[in-house]
C-alpha cells in the first residue's frame, strides 16, 4: 500500500509506532520496522543523550530498516538535555524524528539541515497548521480517544481527522483509537495517509513491558480508561487501577485547588514500576480507549500482517462490493 507517508518515510506499510514512555526501546522499534512499519525509540525514556546513542546503536544492530526517535519537549524548571539529545540524533544518522509537547521550532533548523524528516504530534487542527507552517514534514493528529495527553479540546477522530484533511497540505497520521485494518481503512477514508498505533503495540510479544501490563490490556474494555489531571489542564488518558482511583478521589476532594504535588505519588516515577515491574496499581500510565479492541498478544509481525490483510479485504471486498451491488 503506497501513501504519502510510506513514500516520505521509506516504509512498506503506512503504520507508525507511537513513541511511548518506557515502551519505546530498541526491541519495540526494531520489531515494528522489521515488519514494514516505522518503529520509534522514545528519547526521554533513555534518560541521557549517551544512553540514547547506545539505544540507537542497539536498534541498528536489530534492523536495517528505517526507524525514528521520539523527542517530547516538556515545560520544566530543569529541562532535559535537549541540545545533547538532538546532537545525538543528528550524529547517529537517524532519519525520522517524532516531536511532541511544546513547539519544536527551535530545533527544526538543526534537524532539517541533517535531512531528518520531522513529524509533530498535534491534538488540534490549529496546532497541526502551526506545525505545517514552521516546516514540519508531516503531523500525527491525536484524537480524544488516544492514550496519553489528548489536549483540552475533546474532539474525537471522526471529526478531527476530516477537519485536518480539509486544512493540511502535508501528510498526516491518524492517532488515537487505531488498532487494526478497520482503523487503517477508516483513517485513510477520512484523509489520513497512515496511522500511528501506540497502545495496541504494547500488547505484542516483543513489547519490552511486564506480562501483567499485556494481560491488563487484553482484559480491559473500552470503558476502562480514565482522564486524570484535568483540573491542571494537563489531561492524560490512563488505564484505571487503584492508584488512578486514589488520584481521582484527591482531584474530586480538592477541586480547582489541586496541585501536582497533591497527586505526585500516583504520577511521578510510576512508569518503571508499572511497565517494567508489573505493579499495576501504582498509578496512572497512558492507555487509549482502543484497549477495548485488544483481544490477544501477537507478535508485531503477525499484528502488522493481519492489519494489512484485513485492510485489503475491507477495501477490495466490502467497499468495492458495495459499489458493485
Run of H or E including 310: helix 300-313
- Do the strands 15-17 and 117-122 form a parallel or antiparallel pair, or are they unpaired? unpaired
Domains of the chain and CATH, by start: 4-208 (3.20.20.70)
| pLDDT tens digits for range 273-324 | 999 999 999 999 999 999 999 999 999 999 999 999 999 999 999 999 898 7
CA gap 316, 111 in Å, rounded: 40
Start-to-end CA span in the chain (Å): 25
Q: Which residues pair with 16 in a beta bridge?
A: 38, 196
CA gap 143, 308 in Å, rounded: 22
> Could you say which DSSP state residue 256 is in?
G
Q: What is the pLDDT of residue 325?
A: 62
CA gap 322, 306 in Å, rounded: 23
Reference 25, options 66, 67, 64; nearest CA is: 67
- Do the strands 117-122 and 96-101 form a parallel or antiparallel pair, or are they unpaired? parallel
Cβ atoms of 59 and 30 within 8 Å: the answer is: yes
- Do the strands 225-228 and 236-239 form a parallel or antiparallel pair, or are they unpaired? antiparallel
Run of H or E including 97: strand 96-101
**Positions of the chain with pLDDT under 70:** 325
> Could you say which DSSP state residue 319 is in?
I
Q: What is the pLDDT of residue 13?
A: 98
CA gap 98, 41 in Å, rounded: 9
pTM comes to 0.97
Residues 6 or more apart from 27 whose CB is under 8 A from it? 62, 206, 207, 208
Reference 63, options 36, 101, 82; nearest CA is: 36
CA gap 113, 213 in Å, rounded: 40
Q: What is the pLDDT of residue 149?
A: 95
3-state SS, residue 250: helix
Amino acid at each position: 500500500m503506497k501513501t504519502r507517508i510510506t513514500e516520505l518515510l521509506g516504509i512498506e506499510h503506512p503504520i507508525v509506532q507511537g513513541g511511548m514512555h518506557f515502551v519505546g526501546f530498541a526491541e519495540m522499534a526494531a520489531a515494528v520496522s522489521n515488519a514494514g512499519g516505522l518503529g520509534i525509540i522514545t528519547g526521554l525514556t533513555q534518560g541521557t543523550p549517551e544512553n540514547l546513542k547506545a539505544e540507537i546503536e542497539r536498534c541498528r544492530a536489530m534492523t536495517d530498516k528505517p526507524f525514528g526517535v521520539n523527542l517530547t519537549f516538556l515545560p520544566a524548571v530543569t529541562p532535559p538535555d535537549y541540545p545533547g539529545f538532538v546532537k545525538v540524533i543528528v550524529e547517529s544518522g537517524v532519519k525520522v524524528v517524532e516531536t511532541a509537547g511544546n513547539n519544536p521550532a527551535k530545533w527544526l533548523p538543526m534537524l532539517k539541515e541533517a535531512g531528518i524528516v520531522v513529524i509533530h504530534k498535534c491534538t488540534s487542527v490549529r496546532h497541526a497548521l502551526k506545525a505545517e507552517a514552521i516546516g514540519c514534514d508531516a503531523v500525527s493528529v491525536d484524537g480524544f480517544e488516544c492514550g496519553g495527553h489528548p489536549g483540552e479540546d475533546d474532539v474525537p477522530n471522526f471529526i478531527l481527522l476530516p477537519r485536518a484533511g480539509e486544512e493540511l497540505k502535508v501528510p498526516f497520521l491518524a492517532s488515537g483509537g487505531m488498532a487494526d485494518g478497520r482503523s487503517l481503512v477508516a483513517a485513510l477514508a477520512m484523509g489520513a495517509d497512515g496511522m500511528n498505533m501506540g497502545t495496541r503495540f504494547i500488547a505484542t510479544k516483543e513489547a519490552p513491558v511486564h506480562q501483567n501490563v499485556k494481560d491488563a490490556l487484553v482484559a480491559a474494555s473500552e470503558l476502562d480508561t480514565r482522564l486524570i489531571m484535568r483540573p491542571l489542564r494537563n489531561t492524560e488518558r490512563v488505564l484505571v487501577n487503584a492508584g488512578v482511583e486514589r488520584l481521582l478521589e484527591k482531584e474530586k476532594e480538592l477541586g480547582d485547588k489541586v496541585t501536582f504535588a497533591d497527586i505526585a505519588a500516583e504520577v511521578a516515577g510510576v512508569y518503571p514500576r508499572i511497565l517494567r515491574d508489573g505493579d499495576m496499581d501504582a498509578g496512572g500510565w497512558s492507555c487509549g480507549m482502543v484497549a477495548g479492541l485488544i483481544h490477544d498478544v501477537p507478535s508485531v509481525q503477525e499484528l502488522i500482517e493481519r492489519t494489512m490483510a484485513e485492510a485489503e479485504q475491507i477495501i477490495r471486498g466490502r467497499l468495492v462490493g458495495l459499489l458493485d451491488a
